[in-house]
Amino acid sequence: MPRHPLCTPVDHRLSRRQLFGTVAAGGIASLGLGALATPILAEALRKQRKQVLFVWTDGGMSQLESWDPKPNTTFGGPFRAIPTNVPGIHISETLPQSAQIMDKLTIVRSVRTQDNSHSAGVARIQRGDPKNRGVVYPYFGSAVAKWLGAGDSGLPPYVWIKPGSGGFIYKDAGFLGPKYGALALGDGKPPENLIRPDSLSVADAEERDLLRKLADQRYTTGRRPENTEANSFAFEMAGQLQKRMELFDESKVPEKELDRYGRNEFGRHMLLARRLLEAGVTFVKVASYGWDTHGDHFNGAANLHPKFDRAFAAIVSDLAERGLLESTLVIAMSEFGRTPRINGHIGRDHWPEAWSVAMAGLGLKPGIVVGKTNDKGTDVATEPYDIGHLFHTWFTALGIDPTDHEYRNGGQPLPIAHEEMKRIDEALA
């Protein structure tokens, strides 16, 4: 049966009622765990947690210089294809470190979407493009925040690490309401004014927060709760972040880790993403800008792809070594790919007709390539997959059956993924 939208998503986490109910009934000693109870319960909770790392290369990463190279062809460009650690699978030489973790990756080379512009493509891809119903669907991060919740970390369920400014991006939540928006960390830094000034005592801060809560309660009376729940949620999340400021302290990161991820903006952001995932954040999105290479494309690729490669291979390897990859769905994608044809400015333009998405981790079959393009990379040669197929696949990997869940928008039932599309079974474990 579809879950009511107001229900707490406990079925996607460990049944704490069973564990803690047993403890309450007979005490920790009744479990025969003694002093080991706390670490054992913590480990059980961690293993049941499901998370997402969403790496967004904004502007359009070229499939031909990454996951689907076509060397020595009309449109292949100057880069070679290199073997990976999975026999028979080759990717671009711009991604040598990713080639060594191919046994952990799942690449879909037969993606065909609809929009040729950034303005339409970004929103459509991240919302999953359900059938047009005249409503604003949530971005994938907001959808996951709703269905999986914040887990036991107490941290915001949807965190977006991005260059530039940060803040609370409520629009990502669409009709779900602003509570499910993204907390954006501009340049990977904590929100402004998060730190309590020395001039404000802890007691005074607590009294002010109590006053805020009372004011919110009074304002909510007779009004829709959506008017205040996002504001209250933001304050609650800020309180939790105040307790975890060490997550943002780069001085505590070993030098060798900074080197492995790359001492550049994207590397720093990906390293922060790993730390946030380790801390229990449900959905972490990392955005990298500058991929819209209409001119001087190959020099751009020679600069951008190695930065991506170093950090992407590092985080997938780290998640695997820490036992987190089995519970974390990793997705790396753009709003479309780049044209096979090289334009007069030595660039590649927008190309939604045939491109690639790289994934890893939870619920996926590792070390495979799904689908293929033709010899010149101009079109999909096998069954094409739109973003709706990918949403079905991602939800399934997370244990959320798209055919058994639905949204409610003012009483209107809505599918969580395009009902005329299906999951990519070949990609699923």
Q: Is the dihedral angle over the CA atoms 126, 283, 308, 108 positive or is it negative?
A: negative
Is 266 within 8 Å of 315 (Cβ atoms)? no
Number of H helices and E strands in the chain, helices first, is 11, 15
Mark whether 302 and 391 lie in a shared domain.
Answer: yes
Mark whether 202 and 346 lie in a shared domain.
Answer: no
List, for residues 304-342, the tens digit of each pLDDT value.
999 999 999 999 999 999 999 999 999 999 999 999 999
| Per-residue confidence (pLDDT) for residue 182, from 0 to 100 | 94
Please report which helix (H) or strand (E) contains residue 120, including its range: helix 118-127
| Per-residue confidence (pLDDT) for residue 83, from 0 to 100 | 98
CA 213 to chain centre: 32
| Per-residue confidence (pLDDT) for residue 38, from 0 to 100 | 55
Last residue of a domain, one of 203, 237, 271: 237
For 36, 116, 391, the CA distances from 121, given in Å and listed in that order, are 50, 7, 15
Q: What is the CATH number of the domain that holds 265?
A: 3.40.720.10
Angle, in degrees to the nearest 10, between helices 226-242 and 202-220: 160
Mark whether 406 and 275 lie in a shared domain.
Answer: yes
Residue 197 is given by DSSP the state P
- The residue segments making up the domain with residue 216 are 193-237
Mark whether 158 and 225 lie in a shared domain.
Answer: no
Mark whether 162 and 282 lie in a shared domain.
Answer: yes
Mark whether 118 and 199 lie in a shared domain.
Answer: no
When computed from its CA atoms, the radius of gyration of the chain, rounded to whole angstroms, is 23
Mark whether 251 and 116 lie in a shared domain.
Answer: yes
**Cα(283)–Cα(358) distance, integer angstroms:** 17
Last residue of a domain, one of 177, 211, 237: 237
Using the structure block, give the residue that is written with the tokens 């005592």.
201
Read off the pTM: 0.86
| Per-residue confidence (pLDDT) for residue 392, from 0 to 100 | 98
Residues of the chain scoring pLDDT < 50: 1-34
**Cα(67)–Cα(55) distance, integer angstroms:** 15
Please report which helix (H) or strand (E) contains residue 122, including its range: helix 118-127
- For the residues of 307-319, what is the DSSP string, one character each? HHHHHHHHHHHHH
Mark whether 72 and 164 lie in a shared domain.
Answer: yes
| Per-residue confidence (pLDDT) for residue 43, from 0 to 100 | 57
Mark whether 179 and 205 lie in a shared domain.
Answer: no
Last residue of a domain, one of 237, 270, 301: 237
Whether residue 263 is contained in a domain is answered as: yes
Mark whether 222 and 371 lie in a shared domain.
Answer: no
Please provide the size of the chain in residues.
429
- Please tell me whether residue 52 adopts helix, strand or coil conformation: strand
Amino acid at 386: D
Mark whether 200 and 82 lie in a shared domain.
Answer: no
- Please tell me whether residue 59 adopts helix, strand or coil conformation: coil
Whether residue 65 is contained in a domain is answered as: yes
Whether residue 60 is contained in a domain is answered as: yes
| Per-residue confidence (pLDDT) for residue 28, from 0 to 100 | 39
Using the structure block, give the residue that is written with the tokens 């997550």.
247
Mark whether 224 and 277 lie in a shared domain.
Answer: no
